[in-house]
Amino acid sequence: MEEDKEVKAMAAVNAALIGLEPDAASRVLRWAADRYKVALPGAAGRSSSSGKGAIASEEAGEQGDNQEYEHFSDFYDAADPATDADRVLVAGYWFQELKGQGELESQALNKELKNTGHAVTHMPHALDDLMNVKPRLMIQLKKKGSTRQARRKFKLTTEGIKKVRGMLKPASE
C-alpha cells in the first residue's frame, strides 16, 4: 500500500515540474525538502538563483530555524564576520549558495562588501588565507591571464559552507 502512495506522489511531483525551467524546478524541490525536513544528497553547492535565499543548515534544521535574507546586508549582519577572510567567505556564500552562482569572482565579492561598508583591503591575501587553511574553505577553479592581477574564479568548499552556516545567529537572538 505504501508503494502506491509513493508512486502517486512521484507522479504529482512530475506533473508539477514538467515545463518548468531548471532553476524554477530547483527552487520547488528545495522548498519541498525544507518544508518536509528532508536532506537532499549532494545538495551542497547547488542552489536556486532567486533573489531570496533560504538558509537550511544542519543546525538550523534541528532547531526549525529557516531564515530568508532578502538583502546581502541582512545576511552579513546575521553572520557577523570578524576578519577579511571571513568577510570574503560570507560574500562567497551569498553568491554561491543563495544566488546560485557556480563561480565566484573576487571583484564581485568585494563590490558587494563595499556596498555595505565592509570592503576588504587586500583581496588576494584574504583569498589566499581561505585557500591555504586546512581544510580548505575556498578553492580556485581557474585563472585568466598570467600575471598576479589575472582574473581568478573561485568556489566555496563544503567546509567553507559549513563554516558560514556555523557563523549565522539563530533568529531568536
Most confident of 11-25, 71-85, 147-161: 71-85
Average pLDDT score over residue span 139-160: 83
Q: Which three cell numbers stand for residue 79?
A: 553572520
147 — pLDDT class (breaks 50, 70, 90): low
pLDDT for residue 109 is more than 50: yes
Domain 52-167 annotated CATH 1.10.287 = no
- Best CA proximity match to 129, nearest among 162, 95, 80, 86: 86
| Alpha helical stretches, state H, the chain | 2-17, 22-35, 58-63, 72-79, 84-93, 106-115, 123-132, 158-167
For the chain, give every domain's residue range. Answer: 1-43, 52-167
> What pLDDT digit, counting tens, does each position of 41-55 carry?
554 433 333 444 444
Average pLDDT score over residue span 138-167: 85
Query: What's the pLDDT at 173?
Result: 47
| pTM of the complete model | 0.60
pLDDT for residue 13 is more than 90: no
Query: What's the pLDDT at 171?
Result: 56
For 147, residues 6+ apart whose C-beta sits below 8 A from its C-beta are none
Q: Which three cell numbers stand for residue 11?
A: 507522479
At 10 the three-state DSSP class reads helix
